[in-house]
């Protein structure tokens, strides 16, 4: 801006900003092209970017980015969810809108750069006329007022998802004011933990460890292993097997015959 102010000393800040938005891309292309001719080197992505995108863009009905699932607005849809309501911050101002189109712009070249842009229908961001905040901190948007100048495109990385909820009116059902609820991206949890984290916050030196053998060879200690006793087999005969039972006689069988 300081360089532009030197060329346009009589212009105001708003006029300089308008000139910058209108003439920045032609100036950047001229700067890079003239620098290459004079022997300067620029990144490959910059040289491909200043040449501009192709004239054909690809349209998508849905796009997922940074934990958000965006979907274009369709008046005929009967889906219970509204993934087409988004917002974007620009300095101290917040713009609210309806997502109309999701476009992929490609820049021809070696890197094949691709850029996702959203085409939106913006509401009036002027505080008190298009946006208001009540004493409870609830933000409301007037859906009957639109942005006065044409600037519909933003980068997909700039968009945040919100949800518009109408007031439960009884007499004024056509109230254009709706409340704004910010959607938390999937995979992110905000809040204060009720318990201390299990991970310690201090570092304590750990004593060195030694390796122990799982199997110890006792032969190196002079241990003599005795022969193992015969294992009792399946048909092991007890030493008391020859002792007669109560029902048998201890006399000689021949005497019993006699």
pLDDT, tens digit, 9 for 90 and up, residues 221-255:
565 555 555 555 444 455 554 544 454 444 454 44
Give the domain extent around 164: 52-182
pLDDT digits (tens, 9 = 90+) for 37-91: 888 888 888 888 888 888 888 888 888 888 888 888 877 776 777 788 888 888 7
In a domain, 211, yes or no: no
- Which residues are 123's β-sheet partners? 146
Q: Are residues 118 and 21 in the same domain?
A: no
Number of domains in the chain: 2
Same domain, 140 and 168: yes
The answer to whether residue 159 scores a pLDDT higher than 50 is: yes
Q: Which pTM does this prediction carry?
A: 0.59
User: Does residue 135 share a domain with residue 81?
Assistant: yes
Tell me: pLDDT of 180 over 60.
yes
- Same domain? For 12 and 78 the reply is no
The whole-angstrom separation of Cα 126 and Cα 108 is 39
Of 97 and 250, the structure prediction assigns the larger pLDDT to 97
% of the chain at pLDDT higher than 90: 0
Question: Do residue 26 and residue 116 come from a single domain?
Answer: no
114 and 145 inside one domain: yes
| Coil, strand or helix at 185 | coil
What pLDDT was estimated at residue 69? 85
Mean pLDDT of 163-192: 75
pLDDT of residue 199: 57
What is the full DSSP assignment across 43-76?
Answer: -HHHHHHHT---S--EEESEEEETTEEEE---TT
28: CB partners within 8 A, 6+ apart: 50
The whole-chain average pLDDT of the chain stands at: 75
Q: Are residues 147 and 93 in the same domain?
A: yes
Residues 71 and 178 occupy one common structural domain: yes
207 three-class SS: coil
């Amino acid at each position: 801006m300081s360089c532009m102010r030197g060329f346009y000393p009589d212009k105001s800040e708003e006029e300089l900003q308008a000139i910058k938005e209108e003439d920045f891309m032609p100036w950047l292309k001229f700067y890079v092209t003239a620098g290459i001719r004079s022997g300067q080197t620029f990144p490959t992505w910059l040289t491909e970017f200043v040449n501009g995108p192709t004239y054909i863009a690809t349209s998508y009905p849905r796009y997922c980015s940074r934990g958000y699932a965006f979907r274009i607005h369709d008046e005929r849809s009967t889906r219970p969810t509204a993934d087409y309501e988004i917002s974007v911050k620009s300095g101290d101002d917040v713009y609210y809108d309806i997502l109309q189109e999701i476009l992929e712009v490609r820049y021809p070249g070696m890197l094949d750069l691709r850029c996702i842009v959203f085409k939106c229908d913006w509401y009036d961001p002027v505080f008190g006329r298009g946006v208001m905040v009540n004493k409870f901190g609830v933000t409301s948007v007037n859906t009957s007022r639109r942005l006065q100048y044409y600037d519909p495109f933003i980068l997909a990385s700039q968009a945040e998802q919100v949800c518009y909820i109408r007031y439960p009116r009884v007499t004024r059902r056509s109230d254009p004011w709706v409340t704004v609820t910010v959607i938390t991206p999937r995979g992110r949890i905000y809040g204060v933990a009720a318990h201390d984290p299990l991970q310690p916050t201090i570092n304590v030196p750990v004593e060195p460890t030694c390796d122990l053998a799982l199997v110890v060879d006792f032969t190196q200690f002079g241990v003599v292993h005795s022969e193992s006793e015969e294992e009792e087999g399946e048909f092991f005969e007890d030493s008391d097997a020859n002792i007669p039972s109560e029902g048998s006689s201890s006399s000689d069988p021949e005497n019993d015959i006699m």
